[in-house]
Chain A
Amino acid sequence: MSIQEIYDAVMAYEEEDVAELVQAQVDAGTDIEKILNEGLISALDVIGEKFSAGTLFVPEMLMAAEAVQAGLEIVRPLLIDTGAKPVGTVILGTVKGDLHDIGKNLVGMMFEGAGFKLIDLGTDVDPEEFISAAQENDADIIALSGLLTTSMPEMEKTVEAIRDANKNRNLNVKTMVGGPPINEEFATRIGADGYSVDAPTAVDDARALMAAGI
């Protein structure tokens, strides 16, 4: 019995096995953060890399994320007990007027699987909702998703409102944007702190933002 088995079970998309193996490690007194980092997160990272490289596909990423989720459910309450902090806190949602949530949900699952605390505000989210959620949860990052071209002006407005809140309302949060019509150039122009091409990359970019110090 080893942490490697947890890792292997995630790679094999065996949700139930992951839950059992994680529980067994917990019962054996293995360090919780070690289970999380070496068993769950590192496996999902590899899945994410393969997805970004085009060798794994959406259903596989979903299955892996669900498997990790099963493990997280066991370790999460224990992490709170040990006083361990999440990697970061992310507020996620699609911008106002955009109801398409499949991409956003993939991003959310990858964030959770990477050990972030996720507050998913759902679809059609008003700029003010993002800001107040960030204030309430002392968030590090607000991640905006959109599928429609018409979401781009809305994304711009939202980023603007968040930057304004950073300046004038004692908020200290970074913004990330993504979705089919979005590109790096647009993200830079509207003053977002990051643009990610897909869900696994969003996790990497969020880590980089966290490491850069917020």
Chain B
Amino acid sequence: MTETVLSSPGKEVVIGFDRPFVVIGERINPTGRKKLAAEIAAGDFSTVESDAVAQVAAGAHVLDVNAGVPTADEARLMTDMVKIVQGLVDVPLCIDSSMVPALEAGLAAYDGKALVNSVTGEEESLESVLPLIKKHGAAVVAICNDKSGISEDPDVRFEVARKIRNRALDHDIPADDVVVDPLVMPVGAVGNAGRAVLSLVRRVREELELNTICGASNVSFGLPDRQGLNAAFLAMLIGAGMTSAIVNPLHVEVMTGITGAEVLSGLDHRCKRWMKRCRALQQNQAA
């Protein structure tokens, strides 16, 4: 039974087969949010704070924290942001950076067992990130690309996932603490992007017996009605056995897609969460 346990001081969240799908809120990320980037650079964390609270209220189980403000001291910002978010909401965090010093700073500041986003199949990444994961007893997102790039061939990406899993084991990191990101490409530009990820999710689950995660919103880049497409994709991913995703929980359609797919995949006993969510939405509308 594959289980990736994440924790904050007062809460435990388990990503696992046959468990509720874990929603990781994507909003605390200045990439592509120029206003937020400017705020953070100026030491103003008010949007970070409101995004943290709003995402948890909207149903996020974990929050992604990315401090990638261009040309700023990302490690220092990561420390500040992890502390601020942990001071506000009691949910596990996903410490997200492509800079190892920022990951290190985030892990040092974090109270609990974090998810780290991410390690790739590149040698440099493997040998700098995995020792950190081991040291802090964290879990890690394994991104299926290596030095040769992001392959459109799902078989190549599967082998990268296997390689990262094996290297984690070499570093004495339990396989359960490796969560595979099959890499979602925009389907508007890469026609097989959806099917490639669906097949990878199945194979990673069946053959490697690992949890899976993805940034689902990428799929709809350059297309109209992104929320609708994202919702359809997430439902299919859950049907294929994906166990977590980084999404915008403030998008109602996306959360409807996820919650509905859980019902239909037998992950929501007696449809309890579906009914609870519908009642809450009705109450919100009435108010």
Contact = CB atoms under 8 A, between A and B. Distances in A.
Interface string B27-44: 000111010000000000
A4 interface: no
Chief secondary structure at chain A's binding surface = loop
Chief secondary structure at chain B's binding surface = loop
Contacts of B99: 150
B66 to A, nearest CB: 8
Contacts of B70: 149, 152, 181, 186
Given A102-B185, A124-B149, A152 B98 contact: no
Contacts of A106: 189
Contacts of B68: 149-150, 181
A99 B71 contact: no
Contacts of A87: none
B71 A153 contact: yes
A102 B188 CA distance: 10
Interface stretch (B86-94, B207-215, B219-227, B278-286): B219-227
B48 to A, nearest CB: 16
Interface in A138-186: 148-150, 152-153, 180-181, 183, 186
Given A58-B189, A106-B189, A180-B32, A152 B224 contact: no
Contact of B189 (A62, A148, A149, A180): A62
B174 interface: no
A99 B121 CA distance: 13
Nearest to B71: A152
B186 interface: yes
B31 A180 contact: yes
B98 A100 contact: no
Interface in B50-108: 68-71, 98-99
Contact of A59 (B34, B71, B98, B223): B223
A113 B145 CA distance: 31
B150 A58 contact: no
Contacts of B224: 57
A186 B71 CA distance: 9
Nearest to B150: A99
A123 interface: yes
B136 to A, nearest CB: 22
Contacts of A183: 34
Interface residues of B, number: 22
Contacts of A181: 31-32, 68, 70
B275 interface: no
Contacts of A59: 188-189, 222-223
A7 B186 CA distance: 28
Contacts of A123: 149
A181 B41 CA distance: 14
A57 B189 contact: no
Contact of A57 (B32, B150, B223): B223
Nearest to A62: B189
Nearest to A183: B34
A34 B33 CA distance: 43
Contacts of A152: 70-71
A22 B34 CA distance: 44
A152 B68 CA distance: 11
B222 A58 contact: yes
Contacts of A153: 71
A37 interface: no
A150 B222 contact: no
Given A58-B222, A59-B223, A149-B70, A102 B189 contact: yes
A181 B190 CA distance: 22
Contacts of A52: none
Contacts of A101: 149
A105 interface: yes
A123 B151 CA distance: 12
B98 A58 contact: no
B124 to A, nearest CB: 10
28 contacts: A57-B188, A57-B223, A57-B224, A58-B186, A58-B188, A58-B221, A58-B222, A59-B188, A62-B189, A99-B149, A99-B150, A100-B150, A102-B186, A102-B189, A102-B190, A102-B221, A124-B149, A148-B98, A149-B31, A149-B68, A149-B69, A149-B70, A150-B68, A152-B70, A153-B71, A181-B32, A181-B68, A186-B70
Interface of B: 30-32, 34, 68-71, 98-99, 145, 149-150, 185-186, 188-190, 221-224
